[in-house]
Amino acid sequence: MRYEVGSTGPILTAYIGLPVQLRKLRLFSGAVAAAPRTVTALLDTGSSMSVIDIGIMHELRMHAEDMLTVSSLHAPLELPLFNLHLQIPQLHGAYDTEIGMIGARISGSQGIQCLIGRDVLQECVFTYDGIKRSFMLSFSSASS
Amino acid sequence: MLEARTPLRQELETYARHKPDLLARYEGKFVLIVADRILGVFEDRQSASNAGYQQCTDAPFLVHQVLPVDLPVDMPLISAE
């Protein structure tokens, strides 16, 4: 399936939510289990891992499960890692998985709330056509 | 030394204390830690997280891969909160 490249690059809509097991446990205990959030995601081949805006993690009342050292433009940073349920419904067959994502502010985000990094892209074929301002993304299987 | 505000500070200190033993027996695997207790060691991060939800539900816990050196992740577009 072919998608148009937006002004900020190859963009997709994704759903970010609680991991399935945590959502079930929160519901079972009567706690609030926030619904998944719809986010604007940039396909970012420069990131070795995917990133989610830290504000969305606060909205979902998620706890960090690890701290990772990140090499950014400015200096090494210690940033939290969250375990999340990621869905990309636009893709043929949809992409649906649980994945660790770094929680951070995304610089100059222009509405981008999520970076889809090489940890996800390694499972797919990503073709960028700058002449036609379009891109294609297909996964080897409908769901990981 | 980790700053007091660092999330999972106590768990990371517990990991640091036990790292030599963990490396000797479980290099490459994922350890689940709550406060000063090691709750288990798992083959992958997802299994460790699911065990953490079962045992802690909404309480914070650490899932960390047991490695000699924690390699930095490349991420040029982000900045600190």
> What phi and psi, each to the nearest 5 degrees, are found at residue A15?
-110, 135
**This model's pTM is above 0.95:** no
Residues of A in contact with B59 (CB under 8 A): 63
Residues of A in contact with B6 (CB under 8 A): 67, 78
Is 70 exceeded by the pLDDT of residue A107? no
Residue B14 CB neighbours (<10 A): 20
Q: How confident is the model at residue B6 (pLDDT cuts 50, 70, 90)?
A: low
Q: Do A70 and B73 touch (CB under 8 A)?
A: yes
Residue A67 CB neighbours (<10 A): 22
Look at residue A14 in the predicted model and tell me its pLDDT: 93
Q: How confident is the model at residue A143 (pLDDT cuts 50, 70, 90)?
A: very low
Q: Scanning every residue of chain A, which has its alpha carbon at the shortest distance from the alpha carbon of B69?
A: A69
Query: Measured between CA atoms, how close is A97 to chain B, in angstroms?
Result: 11
Nearest to A98 by CA among A88, A113, A83: A83
Q: Do A47 and B6 touch (CB under 8 A)?
A: no
Using a pLDDT cut of 90, give the percent of chain A over it: 51
Of A69 and A140, the one with more pLDDT: A69
Kindly state the average pLDDT of the residues A117-128.
90
